[in-house]
Structure 1
Amino acid sequence: MLFGIVAVLLALCLCRHVLADAADHNADSFTNPVLWEDLADLDIFRVDDAWYYSASTMHYSPGAPILRSYDLINWEYIGHSVPTLEWSSKYNLTGNERAYVKGIWASTMRYRKSNDKWYWLGCIESGKTYVYTAPSVTGPWSLASTLSTCFYDAGLFIDDDDTMYVAYGNTRLSVAQLSPDGLSIVKTQQVYSSPGNIGTLEGSRMYKYNGQYYILTTRPANAEYVLKASSPFGSYSIKILANSLSPPAAGGGNPHQGGIVDTPNGNWYYMAFEDAYPGGRIPVLAPITWGSDGFPVLTTSGGGWGVTYPMPMTAHPLPALIGTDSFLGPDLSHQWEWNHNPDTTKFNISNGLTLNTATVTNDLYAARNTLTHRIHGPISTATIVLDTTNMADGDRAGLSLFRDQSAWIGVLNDSGSLKVGMVNSITMDASWRTTNTGRTAATANVSKGTIYLRCNVNISPGAGRTGTFSYSTDGASFTNLGTAFALTTDWHYFIGYRWGIFNYATKALGGFVTVSSFTQDVS
């Protein structure tokens, strides 16, 4: 009876998302991080009364998520700029090909008023730059041009006269002028070379304020510099905006890299990210003012990045990013991204997510159609409701903590005998090759049918962060399985831990499972 009541309440009140907590979103101040989710290499800009946010996604597909806000604090996912990672077959995760830690990083997005068009640019694997455009921010997005120059860590800027520029580069920073349609290069020129006492500079973002041109650029992973000139092509002078500031999320890295943005009433803000592994890179926001020398000045608190600041605008609550997704269909919510491009013939979304096995393997990292979701920090619990009735012999399906060191809880079908198991020690090496396909730490016998799989995880920055797994056959009483899984805090994989829902075959294709819901709660 209790489970039935809970299920009804979830269906009526949560559906895809629960509403935001009014106490958190109607206050006079906000708390950093603005979003406790992995949304790195952010590019942020305003169009009229709305702000838009684009982020890195590496090998996840679709790529380059788009978020929107009406107050800079409450955000919603509204789409992706790159519908599919179409640049190479390795992004399909077929055969022995894989593209881990490649793909989309430090890209850029803008709206161009003169032709009512949206642009996204990104350099892929330090090779070519791909330009995607759309008639609306929500799409449809399509590949419009391929440029032979790599706009490394690019920042797109549209000047008052509608000329389009791109700032880019690593240590030797350049500015390119684009053609009137924005799809080819007119000229490119190096504008700054970082001296030895500063070191590496990257992550360029370009702006104009009071007739002066600015390029924000980061010294990874602890400082942000600002270049200023009276012309897009320089010459530029330089000054520090943020340097080794204590982070708002204790235990994380110094806020750096990101962009500046204004409000309709003329106030300015700098949004950066904080390295918060194992969770990833999370966005933080602080006000800026403009100094008498024309450079922006960050508003600090106690010598560090403030944990709280006054609200930039009157709060505009949006549906919360946590709650229940019942996969009502026909499309996935924009919070979801696949590990590499999916095989679209092997899944369906309609009153539940049906996952057919798409790969025969014993390696989670080689299994196609693993569906991932950002973990909402710092402490989160995810629960999936899984129907195993149609699993085939040799199939493995469940819920994972997905990164270069992974673990999962799931159902194993071996010769028709089903067990729920906790598997850990799934690892990659520094070249992102699988070094261990996992060790089954614990199992329990179960029957075919509905099972509830759960993981509770702490992704706050620092060492000693763990995930624990449990299962239930009635949705009310959960049993822990296996040992606590220690999450890696190494940064080289770049993307933080995600939830991963998977179903793969170890013997032959043909089986399938249905996930009727995914619920994420925070504590």
Structure 2
Amino acid sequence: MRHLYSLFLASAALLFTVRAFPSTTPTLELRADTFENPVLWQDHPDLDVFRIGDVYYYSSSSFAFSPGAPLLKSYDLVHWTPVSHSVPRLNFGDKYDLLTSSSRAYVKGIWASTLRYRKSSDTFIWLGCIESGQTYVWTADGTNAAKNNGEVSNWTWKSKGTLPRCYYDSGLFIDDDDTMYVAYGSKEIMVAQLNAAGTAEVKSQQVYASPDGAYIEGSRMYKINGTYYIFVTKPADDEWVLKSSSPWGPYERRILVDSIAGPLSNAGNSHQGGIVDTKDGKWYYVAFMDAYPGGRIPVVAPLTWTQDGWPEVTRVNGEWGKTYPLPVRTDKTVPPPTNIDTFMGPSLSHEWEWNHNPDNSKWKFVGSSGGIQLQTATITTDLFSARNTLTHRILGPKSSGTFRIDISKMASGDRAGAVLFRDVAAYIGIHKEGAVSTLVMVNNLNLTMSTWATSSSGKVAASGPTVAAGTTDLWLRVEADITPAFGTSTARKATFWYSLDGKKFSQLGDPFSLTNTWQFFTGYRFGVFNFATKALGGQVAVKSFQLQKL
């Protein structure tokens, strides 16, 4: 997870243009015999993947976004949709609640974690080490997933406490006899055996030491044809395979991938992740690429096996292929990532995550008309310290996020709008002072790398017209290009737009330069916010959000 690179930081300026946006009629995607990498152009790193019946499940990290540990499903390893979060709330300490500007959890929280289904108890089990301390355990009833061909009728996650040891970058494995093991560690790979209930450790021992002390992490443990495997990554280029006849070793090592070129330019090499089989016995490696400014995105490649039991990635001209045959042919499908969300409730869809834990007393669904009400939850001048910023992953390589907002109940001193959220951020929104509501584009919102303290709370880069105080329909749009530019001096751009009728959009401010640095770990997101600078009491209603690929 802690990759070592060096990149640059870019800045932004001003512009004003007018645009009419294209129609948004949805189209059905035709099924093909092949697929293209990346399979999902969204930030879903540190993945763990497995199959139950016809259903593939994918768990990933989420850092300080809440709820955490998003869980996706697929029927073909190519088309994915979020269905749950394994950690409903980040109950890891006060810093995850954004209670003060000096106590925040940026870059902390849920890193590489692990999820598995235990057939004997019909239970999903999630494990994650938080801040190199304890390992937290969450479980969900499987609702007879094994008997229902992998389908889960509803997800209800419950905290099962903690294990005292940090199972760093862990991989949970359940053996044929139902014994639970956890592979974990860096440089030295350990295997722990849990008790029958999964609530305590029985034993733990080192099973492999990295040659020359090389840093390795991201353990995933499997048993295939009676042989035990631990897959580990040597960030950020290589994937190693450890192989043994016993979970306790000794383990042999081979290199699965070694700095092979990936399917996208200006992105890192494919590594980490895990492997999974199909019902007809084929195997696939699901990895990710460092694709900043968009984050880390998943790619898939077929696996074959040598006669002596070592996996090999199927390459195309010596590289990770851009295109491969579709892993599974099926009529089952999942919803596409582009959509319109009118927030009908009773809960937020799993595309959404708050920046840190929300103050649930300060937001609610509006009612039968749809929408969510965001009351001001924090008095601050710093967006990075404001509670209840709601975020959505960007769809690459280019997409827009459009929020339709009712600003009629904002109070003097309130700030509300649509943000392009990361450690170097910008937004378009309303600054209300007295009875005057002014459209602004604000950039230069920056966190200091490594300490993640706010170095700049932003400056108004462009001002638009004043908006009538009683405005109940204001459309705010962010268009973002997250085409990979990792390790380059190229700055991808985002633009900010507004409309009073939902049809004719005007750009406000110059294109904003996205940063390509990796240290914040997560990629850019769309977000919507509302905070106070004077007193609490104001509110906005977010009527809808549309994600559209450009």
TM class by smaller structure: over 0.9
Quote the residue 2:468 is aligned against. Answer: 447
Quote the residue 1:213 is aligned against. Answer: 228
Query: 1:139: how far off?
Result: 2.4
Quote the residue 1:130 is aligned against. Answer: 136
Give 1:258's match in structure 2, choosing from 259, 273, 282.
Answer: 273
Q: Could you report, residue by residue, the CA deviation over 1:96-154 in whole angstroms, capped at 9, with x for unpaired residues? A: 32100101011000000001111000000000001111113642111113111000000
Quote the residue 1:161 is aligned against. Answer: 177
Quote the residue 1:45 is aligned against. Answer: 50
Give 1:484's match in structure 2, choosing from 502, 511, 514.
Answer: 511
Q: Which amino acid aligns with 2:104?
A: R
Quote the residue 2:29 is aligned against. Answer: 22
User: In the alignment, is residue 293 of structure 1 matched against residue 308 of structure 2?
Assistant: yes
Task: Give the Cα separation in 2 of the matches to 1:416 and 1:205.
Answer: 58
Quote the residue 1:309 is aligned against. Answer: 324
Give 2:290's match in structure 1, choosing from 259, 275, 278.
Answer: 275
Quote the residue 1:387 is aligned against. Answer: 406
Query: 1:362: how far off?
Result: 0.5
Query: 1:317: how far off?
Result: 2.6
Q: Which amino acid aligns with 2:474?
A: I
Quote the residue 1:3 is aligned against. Answer: none
Query: 1:413: how far off?
Result: 0.3
User: In the alignment, is residue 111 of structure 1 matched against residue 117 of structure 2?
Assistant: yes
Query: 1:426: how far off?
Result: 0.3
Task: Give the Cα separation in 2 of the matches to 1:145 and 1:238.
Answer: 35
Determine if contact 2:74/2:333 at 8 Å carries over to the other structure: no
Give 1:336's match in structure 2, choosing from 352, 359, 362.
Answer: 352
The size of the alignment, in residue pairs, is 507
Which deviates more, 291-300 or 502-511?
A: 291-300
User: In the alignment, is residue 422 of structure 1 matched against residue 449 of structure 2?
Assistant: no
User: In the alignment, is residue 408 of structure 1 matched against residue 424 of structure 2?
Assistant: no
Task: Give the Cα separation in 2 of the matches to 1:486 and 1:27.
Answer: 36
Task: Give the Cα separation in 1 of the matches to 2:513 and 2:53.
Answer: 45
Task: Give the Cα separation in 1 of the matches to 2:235 and 2:198.
Answer: 30
Quote the residue 2:493 is aligned against. Answer: 466
Give 1:194's match in structure 2, choosing from 210, 214, 231.
Answer: 210
Task: Give the Cα separation in 2 of the matches to 1:472 and 1:71.
Answer: 39
> Any idea what SS the aligned residue of 2:96 has?
helix
Which runs of 5 or more structure 1 residues have no equivalent in the other structure? Answer: 1-5
Q: Could you report, residue by residue, the CA deviation over 1:309-358 in whole angstroms, capped at 9, with x for unpaired residues? A: 00001143321111210101111001100000000011112310110000
Query: 1:221: how far off?
Result: 0.4
> Any idea what SS the aligned residue of 2:511 has?
strand
Q: Which amino acid aligns with 1:410?
A: G
Matches for 1:426-437 after TM superposition, within 5 Å: 426-430=445-449, 431-437=451-457
Determine if contact 2:478/2:526 at 8 Å carries over to the other structure: no
Q: Which amino acid aligns with 2:524?
A: Y
Determine if contact 1:391/1:512 at 8 Å carries over to the other structure: yes
Which runs of 5 or more structure 2 residues have no equivalent in the other structure? Answer: 1-20, 143-151
Determine if contact 2:110/2:128 at 8 Å carries over to the other structure: yes
Q: Could you report, residue by residue, the CA deviation over 1:204-232 in whole angstroms, capped at 9, with x for unpaired residues? A: 00001111000000000001000000000
Task: Give the Cα separation in 2 of the matches to 1:400 and 1:169.
Answer: 37
Query: 1:293: how far off?
Result: 2.4
> Any idea what SS the aligned residue of 1:170 has?
coil
> Any idea what SS the aligned residue of 2:319 has?
coil
Q: TM-score, normalised by structure 2?
A: 0.91
Give 1:496's match in structure 2, choosing from 511, 523, 526.
Answer: 523
Quote the residue 2:264 is aligned against. Answer: 249
Task: Give the Cα separation in 2 of the matches to 1:336 and 1:218.
Answer: 29
Give 2:97's match in structure 1, choosing from 76, 92, 95.
Answer: 92
Q: Which amino acid aligns with 2:113?
A: S
Task: Give the Cα separation in 1 of the matches to 2:198 and 2:426.
Answer: 45
Task: Give the Cα separation in 2 of the matches to 1:193 and 1:414.
Answer: 61
> Any idea what SS the aligned residue of 2:384 has?
helix
Q: TM-score, normalised by structure 1?
A: 0.95
Task: Give the Cα separation in 2 of the matches to 1:386 and 1:515.
Answer: 5
If asked which structure has higher relative contact order (CA below 8 Å, sep 6+), I would say 2
Which deviates more, 311-320 or 339-348?
A: 311-320
Q: Which amino acid aligns with 1:100?
A: Y
Give 2:335's match in structure 1, choosing from 319, 322, 331.
Answer: 319
Task: Give the Cα separation in 2 of the matches to 1:210 and 1:295.
Answer: 12
Q: Which amino acid aligns with 1:247?
A: G
Quote the residue 1:355 is aligned against. Answer: 374
Quote the residue 2:165 is aligned against. Answer: 149
User: In the alignment, is residue 33 of structure 1 matched against residue 38 of structure 2?
Assistant: yes
Determine if contact 2:123/2:139 at 8 Å carries over to the other structure: yes
Determine if contact 1:174/1:188 at 8 Å carries over to the other structure: yes
> Any idea what SS the aligned residue of 1:475 has?
coil
Query: 1:75: how far off?
Result: 1.1
> Any idea what SS the aligned residue of 1:358 has?
coil
Q: Which amino acid aligns with 2:35?
A: F
Q: Sequence identity of aligned pairs in percent?
A: 53
Task: Give the Cα separation in 2 of the matches to 1:190 and 1:408.
Answer: 49
Task: Give the Cα separation in 1 of the matches to 2:363 and 2:135.
Answer: 31
> Any idea what SS the aligned residue of 1:365 has?
helix
Query: 1:262: how far off?
Result: 0.2
Q: Which amino acid aligns with 2:195?
A: S
User: In the alignment, is residue 508 of structure 1 matched against residue 535 of structure 2?
Assistant: yes
Query: 1:483: how far off?
Result: 1.0
Determine if contact 1:145/1:184 at 8 Å carries over to the other structure: no
Determine if contact 1:402/1:500 at 8 Å carries over to the other structure: yes
> Any idea what SS the aligned residue of 2:503 has?
coil
Q: Which amino acid aligns with 1:190?
A: Q
Query: 1:506: how far off?
Result: 0.5
> Any idea what SS the aligned residue of 1:294 has?
coil
Query: 1:396: how far off?
Result: 0.5
Task: Give the Cα separation in 1 of the matches to 2:281 and 2:186.
Answer: 32
